[in-house]
Amino acid sequence: MGWPVMHSRSPALHEFLLKQHGLYGAYVPLAIEPGRLEAALRALPALCFAGCNLTIPHKEAAMEIVDEIDDAARAIGAISCVTVGDDGRLSGTNNDWFGYVEGVLEVYPDWRADAGPIVVIGAGGGSRAIVYAMVRQGAREIRLVNRTRDRAEALAHDIGGPVTVVDWDARGDALEGAAMLINTTSQGMVGNPPLDLDLAPLPKDALVSDIVYVPAETPLLEAADRRGNPTVRGLGMLLHQARPAWRSWFGIDVSVTPELRATIEATL
Ligand code: ATR
């Protein structure tokens, strides 16, 4: 469920998995107007849905609607996945943080959040899941940079952990000595300008990642690649968040295979 929703790659992802596991069913994009989220979610049990994912702008609003919210969704302040119980109750969770961590580990299995300072750019919905993920994975220093400082302050307050808010104008300095850089803003996404960030102060061995996955390689990742930094693309986060969703909807453990990745990459 989203508004808009037709850009979503989730139908292609879950249709692939349904076919692979021989399940009779469908994953459909549901364009739900913001004011009608509650009616739409409450219709799920009657329509025999196992659950749904939520995307912009419904993730926060769903917090007031579902019957149960787990710790991750509560800490992040947003629900990415809803499961319909046998009794028709709706439980909400957030699998974005898990998807991000697993997406990094798929590429760098030895990655650790406590390897050094982590710079997170952006303080929107995506950033909340990322900062939560880094805190949960044991990060010792997170430098949070956002154009609007107040939003970063609020995020740091809500999530807690070793987060230091850095002014937008000091974003270059924040890169000094960093072990990891994560873009969570919409900058670099198709149709948007690249992220305005000079990588010169960033150590050459710092891991650079982007949660934007259209295009697959953002200008930030291209720039990082050119100077020899290791990089992680954004698609892994989308692919891996499907794993806990399948576990809670169907009790099935799915994996992110090269075929699945190639199928979704072909749609980007
Ligand atoms: P999402 O839920 O996808 O994270 P969002 O909540 O709208 O989307 O957040 C978008 C993020 O991109 C924010 O951190 C935003 O910064 P502000 O809080 O200052 O708005 C950031 N962003 C958007 N346009 C930007 C720009 N031109 N330069 C820098 N940051 C930008």
How much is the pLDDT for 182? 98
- Does residue 80's CB lie within 6 angstroms of at least one atom of ligand 1? no
The three-state secondary structure class of 145 is strand
* pLDDT value for 34: 95
Q: Atom 2, ligand 1: which residue's CA is nearest? A: 125
HEC profile for 44-88?
Answer: CCCCCCCEEECCCCHHHHHHHCCCEECHHHHHHCCCCEEEECCCC
Q: How far is the CA of 195 from the centre of ligand 1 (A)?
A: 11
- What is the Cα–Cα distance from 70 to 96, expressed in whole angstroms? 13
Say what angle helices 96-107 and 235-250 make with each other, to 10 degrees.
Answer: 120
pLDDT of residue 45: 98
Closest listed residue to residue 17, CA positions, set 254, 263, 268, 241: 254
Ligand 1 close to Cβ of residue 147 (< 6 A): yes
Catalytic residue among 58, 59, 143, 233: 59
Cβ atoms 87, 225 nearer than 8 A:
no
Q: Is residue 19 flagged as an active site residue?
A: no
This prediction's pTM = 0.97
Instruction: Using the atom order of ligand 1, give the atom closest to the CA of residue 128.
Output: 4
pLDDT tens, the chain, 268 aa long? 999 999 999 999 999 999 999 999 999 999 999 999 999 999 999 999 999 999 999 999 999 999 999 999 999 999 999 999 999 999 999 999 999 999 999 999 999 999 999 999 999 999 999 999 999 999 999 999 999 999 999 999 999 999 999 999 999 999 999 999 999 999 999 999 999 999 999 999 999 999 999 999 999 999 999 999 999 999 999 999 999 999 999 999 999 999 999 999 999 9
First CA to last CA distance, the chain: 20
Task: Return the pLDDT at 59.
Answer: 95
CB 183 less than 6 A from any atom of ligand 1: no
Q: What is the pLDDT of residue 31?
A: 98
Q: Residue 204 has what pLDDT?
A: 98
Q: Is 77 in the pocket of ligand 1 (CB under 6 A)?
A: no
| Residue pair 135/110 in contact by the 8 Å Cβ criterion | no
Beta strands per DSSP E along the chain: 51-53, 68-69, 81-84, 90-93, 118-121, 142-145, 163-166, 180-183, 207-210, 231-232
Torsion region of 188: left, alpha or beta (phi above 0 gives left; psi -120 to 50 gives alpha):
left
Ligand 1, residue 122: give the atom nearest the CA. Answer: 14
What is the model's pLDDT at position 208? 98
